[in-house]
Amino acid sequence: MKSWIPLLLLLAVAAFWFDTMRAREAALRRVGALCRDMGLQLLDETVHFVSIWPCRGRDGWLRLCRRYRFEFSVHAVDRHQGDVVIEGHRVVSIRLEHPEGPVLIGRDSMQ
């Protein structure tokens, strides 16, 4: 039985990594589309991980919520930050620190 423990641990780590990559890709797709729609430039074409916490989905099931940060530009010479919150693999909110004032899309689940 002890020989199964390392294998199960490895499988759990691999499943967590795969789940995290899927959540990151969902965040990147949504943020990229939002920036295009708003006429903004997503800088570095990436999002980076900030935090993770347990949360309950709309269906009541326990999920992992993740926050990613990204940078965008309005005039191609400035840098502004934004955050995106993912619940499972679903984007629940995006916050842009736009120079004309903060923009919040979705519910405010930023902690």
| d(C-alpha 2, C-alpha 4), whole Å | 5
Sorted by where each begins, the domain ranges of the chain are 4-106
**Cα–Cα distance between 94 and 85 in angstroms, integer?**
6
What pLDDT digit, counting tens, does each position of 23-61 carry? Answer: 999 999 999 999 999 999 999 989 999 999 999 888 889
Q: Which residues pair with 110 in a beta bridge?
A: none
Helix, strand, coil percentages, rounded to 5, for the chain: 30, 40, 25
Contacts of 106 (CB under 8 A, 6+ apart): 85, 91, 92, 93, 94
Is the pLDDT at 109 greater than 50? The verdict is no
So what's the pLDDT on residue 1? Answer: 61
